[in-house]
Amino acid sequence: MLIGFDTLVFYTFAVITVLAGLSVITARNPVHAALFLVLAFCSAAGVWILLEAEFLAITLVLVYVGAVMVLFLFVVMMLDINIEKLREGFWRWFPFGGVLAAIMVGQMIWVLGSRQTSETGAQVLKHSASYSNTKELGRLIYVDYVYPFELAAVLLLVAIVAAIALTLRRRKSVKSQDPAKQVLVQKSDRIRIVSGVGKHGTE
């Protein structure tokens, strides 16, 4: 049987996603790893478009690639991570972790690769041209899933509160600027008029 165009595109994107994902964890340079993650996101967005989820695909590129990953790159560059130090002890624990991972992968292949499981090839529903993925998504989020959606907002609020509570500390030794005070400064605060001017206008 000939494989259709869709299948070909899917496998292309899938292979790129998996390879990029592998590179993320094997790349020596954290900046390269972050860039590979960008590639993985982009190819995943391709798969989503294939599934007629255009809005999600565009959001993935805009939000994750455009905003989150840029922020991530900034952080990686600022932190100056020492890779060699992170890799210390990797080979020492590798046999242990490797055997565990091999056992788990073997078990998963054993279960998921069984005849029954591999036959689960559901056909992806195709919609007419008038179908709006965005509208459908909106209905799901604001009607069907409104409760978890609101709770997700609470989750974000907790994250904000926690981040501020953990990082904001008033330490006396830190020099900081207070713009309000800077604006309100008076001439008399800064300039001291020295009396007793000398003969030539200077002392």
Partner 1 sequence: MSYLLTLSPAYAEIFLLVMASAILIADLFVVSKERTLTYVLVQLTLLGCALITTVTHEPNVMQLFNGMFVGDAMSDVLKLLSYLAVSMALAYSRHYLLVRGLFTGEFMVLTLFALLGMMVMISAAHFMTLYIGLELLSLSLYAMVALQRDSVAATEAAMKYFVLGALASGLLLYGMSMLYGATGALGIAAISDAIRHGVENKELLVFGLVFVVAGLAFKLGVVPFHMWVPDVYHGAPTAVTILISSAPKLAVFAFVMRILVDGLQPLMMHWSGMLAILAVLSMAIGNIVAIAQTNIKRMLAYSTIAHMGFLLLGVLSGGTDGYGAAMFYAVTYVLMSLGGFGMIMLLSREGFEADMLDDFKGLNQRSPWLAFMMLILMFSMAGVPPTAGFYAKLSVLQAVIDAGHIPLAVMAVLFSLIGAFYYLRIVKLMYFDSPDSNAPISVRFDNGLLISVNGLAILALGIMPGALITVCAMAVQQSLLLR
> CB 165 → partner 1: shortest distance, Å?
4
Rule CB under 8 A: is residue 139 a binding residue for partner 1?
A: no
Measured from the CB atom, is 129 or 166 closer to partner 1?
Answer: 166
Out of 1, 78, 166, 191, point to the residue binding partner 1 (CB under 8 A).
166
Residue 154 touches partner 1, criterion: CB under 8 A: yes
Asked if 18 and 27 touch (Cβ cutoff 8 Å), the reply is no
**Is residue 147 a contact residue for partner 1 (CB under 8 A)?**
yes
Under rule CB under 8 A, residue 144 binds partner 1: yes
The answer to whether 165 contacts partner 1 (rule: CB under 8 A) is yes
**Shorter beta-carbon distance to partner 1: residue 178 or 203:** 178
Residue in 7, 12, 26, 114 binding partner 1, rule: CB under 8 A: 114
Residue 159 binds to partner 1 (criterion: CB under 8 A): yes
- The reply on whether position 101 binds partner 1 by CB under 8 A is no
Contacts of 63 (CB under 8 A, 6+ apart): none
Name, in order, each residue with C-beta under 8 angstroms of 155's C-beta and a sequence gap of 6 or more: none
Complex with partner 1: residue 62 or 86, whichever CB lies closer: 86
